[in-house]
Structure 1
Amino acid sequence: MTIRFTAPIAGAMSAGVSDTEDGDGMELTFQCCTYEPDDQDIALGFDTHCVSLQTRAPPMEPSRNEHPVT
């Protein structure tokens, strides 16, 4: 399992974990704001967080009938 943390950029924080170092397999990412939401953020629904789960397939191997592009 690979753990990745990203520094805050433009008021947001992102943290994630992945099955493998190369990014294949499953990845779970959490994102949230690093500041206290104001009234406008709350009215627009920006006072929340985001959790995403993605599955990334490894690259396909060429079949025996395919020739590599040269």
Structure 2
Amino acid sequence: MVVNYGLDRVRFLQPVTSGSRVRAVTELTSVDPSPQGLRAGLTTTVELEGSPRPALVAATIALVVPEP
């Protein structure tokens, strides 16, 4: 089971206008053991078509809990 553990950092870099084409890319950046299971660090970037800068960059944490 995977539990959303929370957000570490969120940066909104530019607005997304109605009708914009967006793409989200998620990268696994770290995996650390914890007493409950494994804590995974993820970086998600939301890109806008035709823009050199992303609209959002967020560092999230997920907890991977083993089946009993």
Alignment TM class, shorter chain as reference: 0.3 to 0.5
Larger Rg: 1
More helix by share: 1
With the length of structure 2 as denominator, give the TM-score of the two structures: 0.41
With the length of structure 1 as denominator, give the TM-score of the two structures: 0.40
